[in-house]
Structure 1
Amino acid sequence: MIEYRTRFPVDDAQLSMLHALAFEYQVEVQPWSERLERHALTWIGAFSNDQLVGFVQVCWDGGAHAFVLDTAVHPSYGRQGIGKELVRIAADESKAAGCEWLHVDYEPHLTDFYVKACGFSPTEAALLKLR
């Protein structure tokens, strides 16, 4: 059974490990808790027996626009609807905060997830690499 927790106390090492597994890169502990408290409207974790198996955060402009970031599900828990539920809760939380729009940028291989499964409308966007 998966339990979803909003604005849960973040363990930086645990979230860094999940992120590294989900995005297939070396684990480097990041200051997640500090960043989230400072910049996020909300964040949601999916837990199985108190193990973090999914995560998403929502940042915002303080007004009408919120942004989905870092949607991650542990590879062993993929294809069970966890990511979709995380995004659904993120949308509910954003709406409750008064946001009118929820944005997400994603790579082409995630189109089915965000557009078909989560209901986002595809839009054109641009990206500028700063470093």
Structure 2
Amino acid sequence: MAIRYEWRGDVDNASLNALHADGFGSPVAQTDWRTRLERHSLGWVCAREDGSLIGFVNVAWDGGVHAFLLDTVVARDRRSHGIGAGLVAIAAEEARAAQCAWLHVDFEDHLRAFYFDACGFTRTTAGLIAL
């Protein structure tokens, strides 16, 4: 079946909470994604197969030229098929269309190849304070 990508696609909280739990190996939360996305995001990309949500990325922003990828997730049984790279490509295209000049991402070390090789991010120097 073909993967369908949707910019600002309809988000069902239960489906996104289940995908998040599967993708990040955590218990299913009760996050109100719809409210969070509408309040803080430039947009988001959903990947669907046979109507099921199998991938997601949130594009938060500062209201200006900086966009930020958050919560990039693909269902465990659908990984290594280019779905994550497809999500990021659409996120970058839509951020560019919104006149953003920069797309930022931070990630754990085991995801370096995905973001640098598969998605085309470049290495930068950045700082982080763990709160």
| Maintained 8 Å contact 1:17/1:29 | no
- Tell me by how many angstroms 1:126 deviates: 2.1
Q: Equivalent residue for 1:11?
A: 12
| Maintained 8 Å contact 1:66/1:99 | yes
What secondary structure, in the 3-state scheme, does the structure 2 residue paired with 1:34 have?
helix
Q: Which amino acid in the other structure matches residue 15 of structure 1?
A: L
What does 1:37-116 align with in structure 2 at a 5 Å threshold?
A: 37-116=38-117
Q: Equivalent residue for 2:130?
A: 129
Structure 1: distance between partners of 2:22 and 2:125 = 29
Q: Which amino acid in the other structure matches residue 30 of structure 1?
A: T
What secondary structure, in the 3-state scheme, does the structure 1 residue paired with 2:30 have?
coil
Structure 1: distance between partners of 2:10 and 2:3 = 17
Q: Which amino acid in the other structure matches residue 105 of structure 2?
A: V
- TM-score using structure 1 length: 0.97
Structure 2: distance between partners of 1:124 and 1:10 = 34
Q: CA RMSD in A?
A: 0.7
Structure 2: distance between partners of 1:30 and 1:76 = 23
Q: Which amino acid in the other structure matches residue 84 of structure 1?
A: A
| Maintained 8 Å contact 1:68/1:102 | yes
- TM-score using structure 2 length: 0.97
Query: For each residue in 1:64-101, what CA deviation from the matched residue of structure 2 results, as whole angstroms up to 9, or x when unmatched?
Result: 11001110000010000000000000000000000000
Q: Which amino acid in the other structure matches residue 73 of structure 1?
A: V
Q: Equivalent residue for 2:119?
A: 118
Q: What stretches of structure 1 of length at least 5 have no aligned partner?
A: none
The count of residues paired between Structure 1 and Structure 2 equals 130
Q: Which amino acid in the other structure matches residue 54 of structure 1?
A: G
Q: What stretches of structure 2 of length at least 5 have no aligned partner?
A: none
